[in-house]
């Protein structure tokens, strides 16, 4: 890994060698992987990338903290579609809108990017077992990516995790511990177990390589936009790792000269659980909050990666916006109807934030925005059905169909 110089604590600046089993700094701070951008510049050009037929996150290997001989992980992670959304942009009054559908990953969320990285690093470390705690998506992505690579997993999820995610975990053969408590309590139990048994740790706020996997979403967005930098990139925020990874990817591209400016981040949280956005809005340190939102993946009252997330939002001169659960469900339907994209509640929270900022006049017809959908709506169908209502239910009878249409004011054409 000549292109990786090491790791540096974002809190105290202490430096570490980039060994596969890196965790937090001795001061408790989170580490950040440091690259030799001059070397990377000499190894990677835009033209080389354009030629590559590897359409997974591993196409960006020169920018990833893995050994040269580390094999790509088995599942096809990354290179999710970036859709231009002209109808939705015009409904919102936005200049240009792109939707990055990261629900189109093997286990149906952006977290596959981090889990594939965890698997690659666990293999480098010679580990046979990986563990994590998660609100659900990190868990199912780890279970799937590890199963494909022949690794065993122990997974800790809060008991509120939706059935879709639990079904994935069990099918992938993980040992699943459903913790009767908050995400914070789930995290604590996983930490104790990982310490006790020495499992490879996939907790994104502890293992600094995971953000590096997540950053590939930013690398892809920019390559898919042919390196034309949008004004804003909007994303939902829970633990803080994802927005931190997004920002890291953008900064990497800036550092190697692939883009000539940086977009502003839009950090979107649920009104019922927004400790990171509150800290930005009030310019205060963050404080824990209740986990009061149906968007389970971002219901994180004690964000484990607040430091990196806050730095990312501030460095980018970012915008923070909180949305209600109803606004989240509205965004889910809006994306479905106008783009054919079905996101889970936390997955569409970024889009809900964009919509709100348009309504507030913060964003408008001069702006180009990328909205990242972080997970597939099939993970949590109960909430989707709650939002949409039930279908027309009738026997196979034309007269009853006519009556049902008439009763609902549907005039077929």
Residues of span 109-128 touching a second copy by CB under 8 A: 128
Q: Does 340 bind a second copy (CB under 8 A)?
A: yes
Instruction: State the DSSP H helix or E strand holding residue 233, giving kind and residue range, or none if neither.
Output: strand 232-236
Stretch near a second copy under the rule CB under 8 A, chosen from 48-56, 226-234, 265-273, 285-293: 48-56
d(CA 329, CA 59): 35
CB 203 within 8 A of CB 190: yes
Among 136, 342, 355, 372, binds a second copy (CB under 8 A): 342
Say how far apart CA 397 and CA 412 lie, in whole Å.
16
Question: Which residue, 4 or 346, is less far from a second copy as judged by CB?
Answer: 346
Q: Which of residues 370-399 bind a second copy (CB under 8 A)?
A: 376-379, 381-382, 384-385, 387-398
Q: Which H helix or E strand runs over 266? A: strand 264-270
Task: Indicate whether 81 belongs to the interface with a second copy (CB under 8 A).
Answer: yes
Q: Quick one: 164 or 303, whose CB is closer to a second copy?
A: 164
State how far the Cα of 321 lies from the Cα of 335, in Å rounded to an integer. 19
Q: Between 13 and 340, name the residue whose CB sits nearer to a second copy.
A: 340
Tell me which residues in 138-197 interact with a second copy (CB under 8 A): 143-150, 154, 157, 159, 163-164, 166-173, 175-181, 185-186, 188-189, 192-193, 196-197
CA distances to 15, 25, 206, 244, 263 from 12, in Å: 9, 8, 16, 18, 27
Distance of CA 302 to the CA centre of its chain: 17
| Nearest to a second copy of 105, 267 (CB atom) | 105
Q: How far is it, in rounded angstroms, from Cα 387 to Cα 378?
A: 14
Q: Which of residues 299-328 bind a second copy (CB under 8 A)?
A: none
Please choose, from the candidates 160, 328, 313, the residue with its C-alpha nearest in 3D space to the C-alpha of residue 247.
Answer: 313
CB of residue 178 to a second copy, shortest distance in Å: 4
Closer to a second copy by CB, 164 or 263: give it.
Answer: 164
Q: Contact with a second copy (CB under 8 A): which of 14, 46, 87, 287? A: 87
Between CA 108 and CA 102 the distance in angstroms is: 7
Nearer to a second copy, 190 or 277 (CB): 190
CB-nearer residue toward a second copy: 232 or 342: 342
333 binds a second copy (CB under 8 A): yes
Distance between CA atoms of residues 48 and 99, nearest Å? 26
């Amino acid at each position: 890994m000549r292109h990786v110089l090491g790791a540096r604590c974002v809190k105290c600046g202490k430096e570490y060698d980039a060994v596969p089993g890196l965790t937090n700094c001795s001061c408790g701070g989170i580490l950040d992987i440091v690259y030799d951008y001059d070397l990377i510049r000499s190894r990677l050009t835009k033209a080389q990338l354009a030629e590559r037929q590897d359409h997974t996150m591993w196409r960006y290997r020169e920018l990833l903290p893995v050994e040269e001989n580390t094999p790509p992980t088995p599942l096809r992670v990354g290179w999710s579609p970036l859709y231009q959304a002209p109808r939705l942009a015009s409904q919102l009054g936005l200049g240009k809108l792109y939707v990055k559908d990261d629900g189109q990953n093997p286990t149906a969320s952006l977290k596959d990017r981090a889990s594939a990285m965890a698997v690659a690093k666990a293999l480098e470390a010679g580990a046979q077992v990986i563990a994590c705690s998660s609100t659900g998506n990190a868990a199912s992505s780890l279970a799937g990516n590890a199963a494909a690579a022949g690794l065993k997993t122990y997974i800790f999820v809060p008991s509120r995790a939706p059935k879709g995610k639990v079904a994935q975990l069990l099918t992938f053969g993980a040992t699943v511990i459903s913790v009767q408590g908050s995400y914070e309590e789930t995290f604590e139990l996983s930490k104790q177990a990982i310490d006790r048994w020495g499992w490879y740790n996939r907790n994104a706020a502890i293992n600094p390589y995971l953000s590096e996997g997540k950053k590939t979403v930013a690398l892809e967005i920019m390559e898919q936009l042919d390196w034309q930098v949008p004004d804003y990139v909007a994303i939902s925020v829970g633990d803080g790792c994802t927005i931190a990874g997004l920002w890291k990817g953008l900064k990497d591209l800036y550092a190697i000269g692939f883009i000539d400016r940086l977009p502003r981040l839009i950090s979107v949280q649920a009104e019922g659980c927004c400790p990171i956005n509150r800290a930005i809005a009030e310019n205060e340190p963050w404080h824990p909050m209740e986990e009061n939102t149906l968007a389970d993946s971002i219901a994180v009252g004690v964000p484990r990666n607040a430091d990196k997330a806050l730095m990312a939002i501030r460095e980018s001169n970012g915008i923070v916006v909180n949305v209600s659960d109803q606004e989240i469900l509205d965004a889910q339907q809006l994306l479905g109807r106008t783009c054919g994209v079905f996101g889970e509640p936390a997955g569409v929270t970024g889009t809900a934030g964009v919509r709100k900022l348009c309504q507030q006049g913060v964003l408008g017809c001069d702006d180009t925005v990328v909205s990242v959908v972080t997970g597939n709506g099939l993970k949590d169908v109960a909430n989707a059905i709650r939002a949409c209502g039930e279908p027309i239910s009738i026997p196979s009878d034309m007269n009853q169909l006519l009556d049902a249409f008439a009763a609902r004011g549907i005039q077929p054409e």
